[in-house]
Amino acid sequence: MSQLDRGGIAGRCATPAGARPGGTGAGRRANTLVSPASTRRVFVAMAGAVVIVPLLGTIAAVWLAVDYGVSWLALVMFAIAYVLTTLGVTLGFHRYFAHRSFRTSPPMRVAFIILGSMALQGSLLYWVSTHRRHHQFSDTPDDPHSPHMDGLSPLGWWRGLWHSHIGWMFAAEVTNAVRFAPDIIRDPLVFRTQLRYLMWAGLGLALPAVVAAGLTRSWYGMLETFLWAGPVRLFVVHHASWAVGSVSHMYGSRPFVTHDHSANNFWVALLAFGEGLQNNHHAFPAAARHAFRWWEPDLTGYVISSLAATKVIWDVVRPSAETVAQRRPTASIGSIVPGA
């Protein structure tokens, strides 16, 4: 068994489109759960809050900045919170839990869950289930957030962009976690830790404000840092992450032949720490590093290499240069970054 096939999850994510189960009837029922109207209302309310509150907080932060400027403390706390919570999702939720691209210790697993939850993109179980469904059915009717299901007209383009970026969350679909993420449910430590999702999310908002209050000893210092490390940070993290499912399935280069519209978008990859390299990722879902060229931005990949060098993580999945070159019609093996 090659490293890319390890664990079954990665192999399932790489299922060719022709071998996919159908997108209608029994297949659809098995992929999502039928939830009562009350549950759907809660999902819609949470989606609304996640979209609107960070936007309002960002407007308030910019409004205050125009009048009073922005302190270095608020900007530094924004940067720290942005990097840590983005890595919680890209390194933890995505490359470790959803694709099992490396192995690590229980304390690191807990740290990944806490930091990923602070990004307010749903609990680990919700995130992994939804993401594996995206890979298995990418750009088909069973994909939770494809931009290509609304036709080719200009209106269809706008509807597809809206649905893939934000609208899909208001569909309030609950992916069948028993089918898509049984490994998360079976791991007691992981399951129990991710159940406290709202507590970790609240901690992510409160911590920077408490630190700022201690350092500045002023209400304004606390409020300013809360806004920049909280709502503003969430606004940028969210739109960068959502652009992975929208923009990176619409615009960018496609060096590999895949059964979907995934594309490598440089700017999304820069903001989302490598996740915008969707064509590379859909061609090699289990690969820990998403960049195969030196100029492709993949901060998460560099963090993985650093953590592997210090033995904090191990068994990192790396497709060989030959394997990558075989999938790339026009590439030469010599142009691939060694060890990528």
Give the binding site for Zn ion (CB under 5 A): 278
Q: How far is the CB of 152 from Zn ion (least distance, A)?
A: 20
Cα dihedral sign, 3-122-201-87: positive
Q: How does DSSP classify residue 264?
A: B
Instruction: Please report where in the chains the tokens 């289930």 appear, as a residue.
Output: 129
CB atoms closer than 10 angstroms to residue 182? 12
Nearer Cβ to Zn ion, position 85 or 101?
101
| Chain centre distance of CA 80 | 18
Nearer Cβ to Zn ion, position 99 or 109?
99
Q: Name the nearest CA neighbour of 197 among 2, 46, 73.
A: 46
Q: Name the nearest CA neighbour of 121 among 78, 159, 169, 82.
A: 169
Nearer Cβ to Zn ion, position 227 or 247?
247
Q: How far is the CB of 134 from Zn ion (least distance, A)?
A: 6
Nearer Cβ to Zn ion, position 125 or 227?
125
Q: How far is the CB of 16 from Zn ion (least distance, A)?
A: 15
CB atoms closer than 10 angstroms to residue 312? 14
Q: How far is the CB of 247 from Zn ion (least distance, A)?
A: 11
Q: How far is the CB of 132 from Zn ion (least distance, A)?
A: 8
Please report which helix (H) or strand (E) contains residue 32, including its range: strand 32-33
Give the angle 100-106-110 at the CA atoms, nearest 5°.
Answer: 85
Nearer Cβ to Zn ion, position 278 or 280?
278
Residue number of the CB closest to Zn ion reads: 278
Q: How far is the CB of 166 from Zn ion (least distance, A)?
A: 16
The C-alpha atoms of residue 209 and residue 136 are separated, in whole angstroms, by: 40
Cα dihedral angle (115, 188, 313, 244), rounded to 10 degrees?
-50
The C-alpha atoms of residue 151 and residue 121 are separated, in whole angstroms, by: 28
Q: How far is the CB of 297 from Zn ion (least distance, A)?
A: 17
Nearer Cβ to Zn ion, position 190 or 244?
244
Q: Name the nearest CA neighbour of 212 among 196, 199, 230.
A: 230
The C-alpha atoms of residue 238 and residue 224 are separated, in whole angstroms, by: 20
Q: How far is the CB of 115 from Zn ion (least distance, A)?
A: 18
Nearer Cβ to Zn ion, position 229 or 240?
240
Nearer Cβ to Zn ion, position 148 or 233?
148
